Structure 1
Amino acid sequence: MIDLTRRWPATARSLAICALAALAALVAFCPPAAAAEGLDGAKLPLPLGLPFVGILLSIALGPLVVKEWWHIHYEKAAAFWAVLTLAGLVAVKGFDITAAALVHNLAIEYLPFILMLLALFTASGGIAVKGSFKGSPLVNSGILAFGAAIASVIGTTGASMILIRPLIRANEGRRFNAHVVVFFIFLVSNIGGALTPLGDPPLFLGFLHGVDFFWTTQRLWPETLFAIVVLLAVFFLIDLYFFRREGPRPATGPAIALSVTGLVNNALIGAAIAAIVASGLWRPGVSWTLMGTKIELQNVVREAVMIGVTVASMLLTNRASRAENGFDWEPIREVAYLFAGIFIAIIPVMAMLQAGKNGPFAFVIGLLEHPDGSENNAVYFWATGLLSSFLDNAPTYLVFFELAGGEAAKLMGPLGHTLAAISLGAVFMGANTYIGNAPNFMVYAIARNAGVKMPGFFPYMLWSGAILLPLFAAVTYFFF
């Protein structure tokens, strides 16, 4: 018999135990009726958003200023800002409402997010692509183009986790290879996922709120194709420049024929994708209420499938396939802890945004309309995008979806241009920072652990600012 506890990461076990204990404590000490009032962002003081700024600065500066401490204790920093956020909310709104908001955030936002990542990370990490790849500009451009093409089919997370390790191996003999991973994040981890609800979490939220499955494919393909072609051309020129500067590469071992192992994980990834799609199509009408949060059966089934995919992948994948990938749990561990802190610290910020013109960010909301009351689609694109660069892009999409009226039929029809701006802003500009979209930080962690000298938080933003911001300005000019 296989001892699953020996193959299961200690981090996953400890996180599950802590989460269950925290949830049990909240349910025990918070009366269900207390959740009814909810968290009114219009009445929250702006300083409650400071812990969110704090955790972002910690992620940005920690690896630079206190590098050794950060890589050992980053979860303590995340916990500090999370506790500070909750303490501030308790002081302003009381324990009951804070606990209800926390349960809602964990159950509806964080748990689906981290379980989907865990399932795709585990399954894709069991697929080992072997073969002799020379990381030339042409080969690298081909991998990036392929990754961008499949990102809307298996999701940006699935495409990123399958292709990042072969791409790193192909370029491990090069002196300059960090830019290859940076463009991988641009194209595969973000922009390539703009064409279906499977591609990126914001579009999946739109699908759950009534946007037709193929609306994104039919409506967003011109902007997506334009962005991908431009980025591939820019990448090819930059990679060619660095490739020529490097001179002859050292001799490598004998040629290895192309092969793929761990193919059982393809079926598991398919099961995870099917569960995601089914949760949007299957509505049995069965639900439970937990401290004011509605827990629906289809979502419980979806999360159970994600756990099942993770366990099945660990049981069915040959250890040699994972060893070939250099697979370890540190990237998902880092994402789990840091994003737990982010998802908690973001609670008051999202509430303030959802308050619209009655909240602290009313000055931003007012920019979304022209003086005649019509939608300013260029501002929708940039506002959604810039916030998605630092907030989680899925709830940010939903905030602007609601600000634009929240009616899917109207947003797919007369306001189709506005929905396109919101969708593209959330997906495209998630590439602006490491925390803009879930796969970004995972790719960064995998590349860093593999020895790639990845740029830090702010140096990465210099890359994205120099390359992506002019591209997005061109998208605005030609399409909005």
Structure 2
Amino acid sequence: MAQLGQRYVGGDRRWGRAAAAALLATPGWASAATLNGADLSLLWGVPFAGILLSIALMPLFLPSFWHHHFGKVAAFWALAFLLPFAAVFGPSLAVGSLAHALVAEYIPFVILLTALFTVSGGIYIRGNLHGAPGLNTAILAIGAVLASFMGTTGASMLLIRPLIRANDGRRSCAHVVVFFIFIVSNAGGSLTPLGDPPLFLGFLKGVDFFWTVRHIFAETFFLVASLLLIFYVLDRYMLRFDAQKPRTDPTPDTHGLGFEGKINFVLLGAVIALVLMSGFWKSDIQWDVAGVVVTLPSLLRDLGLIGVALLSFKLTPASAHAANQFDWGPMQEVAKLFAGIFLTIIPVIAMLQAGINGPFGAVVRAVTRPDGTPDPAMYFWATGLLSSFLDNAPTYLVFFNTAGADPQVLMTSMGTTLAAISAGAVFMGANTYIGNAPNMMVKAIAESRGVRMPSFFGYMAWSCSILVPLFIVMTFIWFR
């Protein structure tokens, strides 16, 4: 296990140095003009659509090929965008766009996920309880609360393993993981900027730290409580079905609960402190890295997170990693697939940011009423539907800017609009596996434990039948 981790970390470090060296070696290229989405055709979105369809269809129709080559597929679609883009718009703009995607977005994203994945994966919850409806519902409720304080990724990685272990004696437990994604990996992270990246970006833009808990608590409570009730009823029904075909539980019940790898609770606090530090601390010290501004707080945050991950891996007892069946596979899958997503999404985000002058002008115009005032319901659905397939953090920023980008106005006279944007970005990340990074990590861990998870479209059938009706009800109650 340690050798696997060393190989992965070492390979990641070598890749990082090579990428940084390549970018720094071309400062003139990387600092060129800004991409104007109004000049782009919708055809530039084909590579992004291609990688989404690959994620959706290949595991279903070419499972063996996908399992062994998903990284190559992601690289293919990334190059399918980058090479033609460089040929048409010039290497200067291509390298500049690549540098921004890597330095400003992807690398900090992967560093934070890796730190949370490593720290949470080092906490082993001893003991195995029987996965009854009451216990499962309680774990989901606890996860919903934790998600707003330790992030949806941290809460997901902490609780998904013991939840699967509690239900590994049941024949049908995919629904448990699906609702875990709905509640813990998404909805639960809506109350603070620590919960989900879109809210953290709003915090960096000037939204008060406690604004979301004051203004979308009712929406969050309604959604989480409704999902917990639906889950409890469904799980009771599924338990009766399982009882007709009993299966030997590979991990017998025990009520002797406890923790191994307790040092990771301290390190988890360090992760939260580093994230908060980068948001609260303002510094004039900054560097230009391949045309991208890197501030001292963000640099210290990322270096600190790397240090925390290394400390966690070193200090966690080998028995805790072994008991958790900890390996880098889920993290590698997320890192490779999201590398392709972060690159192919470049023109799509640029087209959205072009507003009414861009190819998606109809989407931007749809959020404004005829009298010029914002339509919160349309903001909720536009932000949410795009966040289901695009990265929800930049999608949040697009509609934050469309609504005026003045945090003082948005927090007061336009509070309903900001609540709609925030809720749409966080809640509807649960609509697809790619709507939020923890979704795919949870899916990968579940499948590695033998859980037969729904396909991409199978999962969407769950979300459309359960989540969408709840979102419609929420629209009429809070976002009219």
In the other structure, the counterpart of 2:404 is: 405
Which one-letter code corresponds to 2:25 in the other structure?
A
CA 1:245 to 1:35, structure 2 compared with 1: closer, same or farther past 3 Å? same
Task: Kindly tell me the number of residue pairs found equivalent between the two proteins.
Answer: 476
In the other structure, the counterpart of 1:182 is: 178
In the other structure, the counterpart of 1:54 is: 50
CA 1:126 to 1:218, structure 2 compared with 1: closer, same or farther past 3 Å? same
Which one-letter code corresponds to 1:44 in the other structure?
L
| Distance in 2 (alpha carbons) for counterparts of 1:411 and 1:43 | 30
CA shift, 1:143, in A, is 0.4
Structure 1 contact 48–88 (Cα < 8 Å) conserved = no
In the other structure, the counterpart of 1:339 is: 338
Structure 1 contact 211–412 (Cα < 8 Å) conserved = yes
Structure 1 contact 43–359 (Cα < 8 Å) conserved = yes
CA 1:66 to 1:251, structure 2 compared with 1: closer, same or farther past 3 Å? closer
How is 1:214-363 mapped onto 2 (pairs within 5 angstroms)?
A: 214-247=210-243, 249-250=246-247, 252=249, 253=252, 255-363=254-362
CA shift, 1:19, in A, is 3.1
How is 1:153-232 mapped onto 2 (pairs within 5 angstroms)?
A: 153-232=149-228
CA 1:404 to 1:10, structure 2 compared with 1: closer, same or farther past 3 Å? same
Give secondary structure in 2 for the equivalent of 1:199.
coil
Structure 1 contact 130–256 (Cα < 8 Å) conserved = no
CA shift, 1:132, in A, is 2.7
Tell me the percent identity.
Answer: 54
What do the CA deviations read for 1:349-403 (whole angstroms, capped 9, x no partner)? 1111111111110011110100000101101000000000001111111111111
CA shift, 1:11, in A, is 3.1
CA shift, 1:5, in A, is 7.9
CA 1:411 to 1:254, structure 2 compared with 1: closer, same or farther past 3 Å? closer
1:15 aligns with 2:9: no
Structure 2 contact 5–328 (Cα < 8 Å) conserved = no
C-alpha RMSD of the superposition:
1.4
In the other structure, the counterpart of 2:435 is: 436
In the other structure, the counterpart of 1:453 is: 452
In the other structure, the counterpart of 1:24 is: 21
| Distance in 2 (alpha carbons) for counterparts of 1:85 and 1:477 | 40
CA shift, 1:251, in A, is 5.8
What do the CA deviations read for 1:87-126 (whole angstroms, capped 9, x no partner)? 1221221101110111111111111111100000001001
| Distance in 2 (alpha carbons) for counterparts of 1:35 and 1:357 | 27
1:65 aligns with 2:64: no
| Distance in 2 (alpha carbons) for counterparts of 1:429 and 1:459 | 16
CA shift, 1:175, in A, is 1.0
Tell me whether 252-261 or 56-65 shows the greater mean CA deviation: 252-261
Structure 1 contact 30–99 (Cα < 8 Å) conserved = no
Give secondary structure in 2 for the equivalent of 1:111.
helix
In the other structure, the counterpart of 2:110 is: 114
1:467 aligns with 2:463: no
| Distance in 1 (alpha carbons) for counterparts of 2:447 and 2:259 | 24
Give secondary structure in 2 for the equivalent of 1:390.
coil
CA shift, 1:326, in A, is 1.1
CA shift, 1:36, in A, is 4.0
- TM-score by length of structure 1 reads 0.97
1:134 aligns with 2:133: no
Give secondary structure in 1 for the equivalent of 2:288.
strand
What do the CA deviations read for 1:401-452 (whole angstroms, capped 9, x no partner)? 1111111111101111111000000000000000100100000000000000
| Distance in 2 (alpha carbons) for counterparts of 1:5 and 1:126 | 13
Structure 1 contact 210–408 (Cα < 8 Å) conserved = yes
CA shift, 1:25, in A, is 1.8
In the other structure, the counterpart of 1:427 is: 426
1:103 aligns with 2:99: yes
Give secondary structure in 2 for the equivalent of 1:458.
helix
Structure 1 contact 9–329 (Cα < 8 Å) conserved = no
